Structures are given as C-alpha cells and as structure tokens.
Amino acid sequence: MGKKHYSVGLWDIKTMFKCSVVMFLIGGLVTLSFYYRNNNQEAINSKDKVTLSTMTTSKITNDDENTNRITITKTNKRVFDHQRRLKLAPLSLTDTCDLFSGRWVHDNNSHYPLYKEDECPYLLGDLACLTYGRKDSKYQQWRWQPHGCDFPRFDGKAIVERLKGKRLLFIGDSVNRNQWDSMMCMLHSSIPGKKKVSLGGTLNNTLYTFRAIVSPKFPFAPSALLHLLPQKSFFSFKLCDQLVIDTTQDYNISIDYYWAPMLVESNGDDPSNHRLDHRIIRIKAIEKHARHWVDADILVFNTYLWWKLPIIKLLKSPGSLLGGPNQVYDEIDNLRAYKKVLETWSKWVHIHIDPAKTKMFFMGLTATHSRAKDWGGKKHGSCYNETEPVMEDGFWESGTNQQMLQILESLLSKLKAKGVNVQLINITQLTQYRKDAHPSVHRKLWSPLTDAQKKNPESVSDCTHWCLPGVPDIWNELLLAYIFPINPPTNK
Ligand SMILES: *[C@@H]1O[C@H](CO)[C@@H](O)[C@H](O)[C@H]1NC(C)=O
Ligand SMILES: *[C@@H]1O[C@H](CO)[C@@H](O)[C@H](O)[C@H]1NC(C)=O
Ligand SMILES: *[C@@H]1O[C@H](CO)[C@@H](O)[C@H](O)[C@H]1NC(C)=O
Ligand SMILES: *[C@@H]1O[C@H](CO)[C@@H](O)[C@H](O)[C@H]1NC(C)=O
Ligand SMILES: *[C@@H]1O[C@H](CO)[C@@H](O)[C@H](O)[C@H]1NC(C)=O
C-alpha cells in the first residue's frame, strides 16, 4: 500500500508550504503571543482563579511573610478540589461508559455538521472536499453512537468559555493536523460576533502559525515578535478579543499544532521538504522538538502513519539526518522502532510534564481505506467514489496494524503505573467504518493529473486524511469529553 500513501503525504506538505509562504509575517505575530504568556496555569478543571504559579512558589522560599498566605491558598485549592470531587463523583461519563465502542448512525436532523465547510477559513483547500468537487454530502451527517450511553453534544459556547486562557497543542503527523484543523473550525463557529481571521506562515519554511482574532488589533508590535519565534514547525491559532474592555470577554485560547511526524528527530522534520521513500530517525533525540511542548495546558499526541514502512533506520553517527557520505545507522523493523520511540517519548513525558498541570492525550491509529477488497469492493478500488460507511460491526481494514495499537496501549499503561495518565482516545475502531469520509480526489492537487491518472483515479485518491466537516470533528468531541469530564457546576 506504501506508495500511494506517501505521495499523498507529499502533496499535503507541499500544499501547506505554498499556503504558508504567502502568510509569513502575520504568522509571526501569533506564536509570539503565547510565548509572552506567563506560566500561571490553573488546573484545567477548575474555573476558579487559584493562582499557584511557579513565581509564587519561589516566593514561598524567599519571603517568609508571604508563606502563610500562600500556604493557605494551596490548602484552599486542595479542599476545593476535594469537595468538588466529593460533590460531583461519579458524574464523569468517561468513567462509566466506553465511548469508543459504538456505531455510526445517519442523522440528517442532528446537529451535524458542526459547521459549514465554506464558513471555516482554516481548511486551506485540502480538506474542503465539497469545494473540490465532491457532490455528495451525506458523509457529514453521521453521528457516533456509543453502545452503552449517549454521547454529549458539542456545546461550542460552553467549550470556548472553559478553554479561556488555555493553550491546547496538537503534536504529530498530518492526521493530527487534520484534527487540529477541525478543532479550529469547531471553535471558530462557536465564537459569537464579528470575526477577523488571519492565517499565518512560516519561518525558514518550518514555522506555521494561524490566528483568529475577534478584533482587528494585534497585541504586540511585529518587531518585538519576530526574534522570539521558535525554530520549528509550529502552527498556532489564537482566539482573543482586544476590543472588549471587560477582559473576562477575552477568549485568549491558543490552539496550536507542532509538526513532528515521528515525535523524535527524523528526516521528516521539515514540513515542506522531506524524503518519502525511507525513514531515518534518531531514536532517543526528542528534546529539540519537545522543549516547545512544555507550557501547554493540554497536549494531544499522535504518531502512526510514518511508521508503516517496514524498515526504519536508526542513525548512530553525528551529522545530518538528511544524508551524507558518513551516515552510520542500524536498520530495524518498524514495530520495534515504534516501541522504542514511544519509550523515548514516555521517558520525556514522565520527566518533563507535571500531570497535575497538563492533561495529556494520545490519539489512536486511524484507518486508511486504500483497499476496496477489504469491504468487498472492486479489486483495485480504494476509498474513491465511496459514499457510505461500512456497516458491518467490528469491521477492520487490512492496513491498520493491530500490533501497533497494542504497543501503544501497553506503553500508556506502563506510564499510568508510574502515575502519569496519558489518556488514549481510542478512535481506531470508529475510523474503520468510514471509508466514505476521505477526500479521495476532491482536494487541491499539487500538479495536474496525467491522463493515466485520470483514467485511474483510485490510484491518486487520498484515503488517509478526512474531509472536514467530518470524522475528526467526532474525535474532537470525544477528546473534549475527556478534557472536561464533568459538567461545570450550574451555580457558581
Ligand atoms: C434525511 O434522510 C432521509 C433518509 O435517511 C431522507 O429520506 C430525507 O430526504 C433526508 N432529509 C433531508 C432534509 O436531507
Ligand atoms: C492569556 O491567558 C494566559 C494564561 O493562560 C495569561 O497568562 C495571559 O495574561 C492571558 N492574556 C491576555 C491578553 O489576557
Ligand atoms: C534559517 O536557516 C538557515 C540555514 O539553514 C540558518 O542559518 C538560519 O539560522 C535559520 N534562521 C532561522 C531564524 O531559523
Ligand atoms: C461511482 O459510484 C456510482 C454509484 O455507486 C456508480 O454508478 C459509478 O459508476 C461509480 N463511478 C466510478 C468511476 O466508479
Ligand atoms: C481500543 O479499541 C480497540 C479496537 O476496538 C480495542 O481492541 C482495544 O481494546 C481498545 N483499547 C482500550 C485501551 O480501550
């Protein structure tokens, strides 16, 4: 299956590159703004302002007079949390119901789609399937129905309220970027009032930044921003409202995306220019990317598609991952490499992330519907021209590697045993059914199709990514159900 798959990846990246070049400057503004934020972060569940910042903590040791007051604040917080748990337990839906076991129900009276394709300014053409000629829109109308319970509807207004002042960071490959796009569209449509939108660009082709502001003003002068830009592949979306004088009206939400398709350093790290025919990584080198992840309130990881080539090269020599005469490497099979990289990642998480401050999630593997034979379709068919999900319970397409899911699950439970909870958002099964939900040929093309390709559209179909609005919106609803597992108290 390899080939088709990777050419899609290339197209994806180049599209991103093209778009971002244009929008370089404004982009800079954005990323900066979250660098300016101080580290005051409250526990995500608590809307009440209990400031327990790193700064106050250091004051405790230096300033005797403040000790009492600060200790009291801390104690209060604990009591508060304790009380809340007592009061609200066991209301958490995610504790009592398996949200990932269920079926798709067509429901054209439901609240899907959550937004309209042409009302979302972040789709950049590549996921906006109707714009690129898709004629059917039924794929937008499916509701995920867990077997054991009802799934909470996305309540945009409540979610933006609860995300105020938070930074949500997606890290991973282009499927995670797909989900980040979806999250931006969902939140964008939930912000009331007039909106002005800026799409931002790149620094050295590696930094991508997006921002939506409710007002036309930027918070910082461009010159102050540019030299603070990180070197890597950042994408950011920030919601704020500079015009509203009452600061409680300011959303100040950052929705960011960091391109790290294999989490550790790899020859895929340049989002616009990377080799697709082989993978070479430094299996233990994660810090260069990961240092940009530490100050988020919510981290959402994925990594999967790039591990599907059977052999992964582990670079042993110093020097560039991009080649050179003296490269020394071991070749190992992809499953062993996947396990090793997750070990590197979990070590990093264990050391650097405080689970009390930062919620962490790992997205499950997603299906790629490139073999129609899997569902009894045409011999050389793919997701091309598919307009209905597979309805057979437990359907599994042959490209999804069950072993990789098991490796991921086992790593996450080892982490949990050490007290670090990274919640698996187990979307693997629910994506299996949705052969109808990929862009196939309804996407921006990097180069015009040749005659041979036109005759054989199956071969140029993108069956990896997902049309928006669509399936990733449901992933985000599930994610949000875990980020905010209990409903806010009705009276404050
Ligand atoms: C809704 O779906 C049903 C069949 O599932 C169809 O008969 C009906 O025409 C649809 N309504 C709209 C407004 O699309
Ligand atoms: C945005 O929220 C952060 C906390 O996450 C806070 O430190 C910062 O001051 C806020 N910015 C504005 C402009 O309100
Ligand atoms: C851009 O890339 C060049 C060469 O790769 C490097 O020397 C320079 O420091 C980079 N600049 C920034 C701002 O990343
Ligand atoms: C696409 O599907 C429709 C109905 O399922 C069928 O009539 C048509 O021939 C298909 N087109 C191609 C090119 O396979
Ligand atoms: C995730 O989903 C798969 C497929 O439905 C299932 O086999 C597995 O047990 C689930 N894992 C967890 C941790 O729930």
Q: Which of 273, 297, 267 is nearest to 285 (CA)?
A: 267
Rounded to an integer, the average pLDDT of 452-472 is: 92
Q: How far apart are CA 357 and CA 339, in angstroms?
A: 27
Q: Which residues of 316-353 are buried (b: 16+ CB within 10 A; e: fewer)?
A: eeeeebeeeeebeeeebebbebbbbbbebbbebbeeeb
Q: Which residues are CB-neighbours of 229 under 8 A, at least 6 positions away?
A: 28, 31, 32, 203, 207
Task: Among 106, 107, 108, say which to mutate for ligand 1: greatest number of ligand atoms within 8 Å of CB.
Answer: 108
Render pLDDT for 439-450 as a digit per residue (tens, 0 to 9): 999 988 777 888
Cβ 22 vs Cβ 328: under 8 Å: no
Judged against a pLDDT cut of 60, whether residue 385 lies above it is answered with: yes
| Annotated catalytic residue 462 | yes
Q: Which of 220, 210, 221, 216 is nearest to 243 (CA)?
A: 216
Q: Where are the beta strands (DSSP E) in 51-121?
A: 102-106
Ligand 3 centroid to Cα of residue 204, in Å, is 6
pLDDT of 346: 97
Rounded to an integer, the average pLDDT of 337-363 is: 96
Q: How far apart are CA 475 and CA 145, in angstroms?
A: 13
Query: Is 110 a pocket residue for ligand 1 (Cβ < 6 Å)?
Result: no
Ligand 3 centroid to Cα of residue 98, in Å, is 47
Q: How far apart are CA 24 and CA 211, in angstroms?
A: 12
Segment 242-250 long-range contacts (CB within 8 Å, at least 24 positions apart): 242/213, 242/215, 242/217, 242/218, 243/214, 243/215, 243/217, 244/214, 244/215, 250/164
Question: When comparing pLDDT for 489 and 61, which is higher?
Answer: 489
- Please tell me the least confidently modeled range out of 221-225, 324-328, 426-430, 457-461: 221-225
| Annotated catalytic residue 413 | no
Q: Which residues are CB-neighbours of 395 under 8 A, at least 6 positions away?
A: 375, 432, 433
Cβ 182 vs Cβ 465: under 8 Å: no
% of the chain exceeding 70 in pLDDT: 67
**249 pLDDT band (50/70/90 cuts)?**
very low
- Please tell me the least confidently modeled range out of 6-15, 237-246, 327-336, 401-410: 6-15
Q: How far is CA 55 from CA 58, 136, 190, 239, 291, in A?
A: 5, 55, 34, 26, 20
pLDDT of 258: 85
Residues belonging to the chain: 492
pLDDT of 125: 60
Q: How far apart are CA 18 and CA 201, in angstroms?
A: 9
pLDDT of 91: 56
Please work out, in degrees rounded to the nearest 5, the angle formed at the alpha carbon of residue 256 by the alpha carbons of 250 and 258: 165
H or E segment and range at residue 330: strand 329-333
- Protein residue with least CA distance to atom 11, ligand 3: 204
Render pLDDT for 410-423 as a digit per residue (tens, 0 to 9): 999 999 999 999 99
Residue 128 C-beta-side C-alpha neighbours within 13 Å = 15
Judged against a pLDDT cut of 60, whether residue 333 lies above it is answered with: yes
Q: Which of 181, 297, 462, 473 is catalytic?
A: 462
Q: What secondary structure does DSSP assign to 400-461, as a single string?
A: S-HHHHHHHHHHHHHHHHTT--EEEE--HHHHHT-TTSS-BT-S--SSPPPHHHHH-GGGG-
| Annotated catalytic residue 174 | yes
- Protein residue with least CA distance to atom 2, ligand 3: 204
Ligand 4 centroid to Cα of residue 385, in Å, is 6
Q: Which residues are CB-neighbours of 405 under 8 A, at least 6 positions away?
A: 364, 365, 428
Ligand 2 centroid to Cα of residue 167, in Å, is 10
pLDDT of 163: 87
Q: Which residues are CB-neighbours of 247 under 8 A, at least 6 positions away?
A: none
Render pLDDT for 215-243 as a digit per residue (tens, 0 to 9): 333 333 222 222 223 333 445 554 444 33
Considering the entire predicted model, what is its pTM? 0.76
Q: How far is CA 114 from CA 355, 395, 478, in A?
A: 31, 26, 14
Q: Which of 174, 182, 198, 233 is catalytic?
A: 174
Q: Which of 51, 477, 37 is nearest to 252 (CA)?
A: 37
> What six digits make up the tokens of 333?
């099979």
| Distance linking the first and last C-alpha atoms of the chain | 54
Q: Which of 361, 344, 183, 323 is nearest to 262 (CA)?
A: 344
Judged against a pLDDT cut of 80, whether residue 169 lies above it is answered with: yes
Rounded to an integer, the average pLDDT of 17-21 is: 29
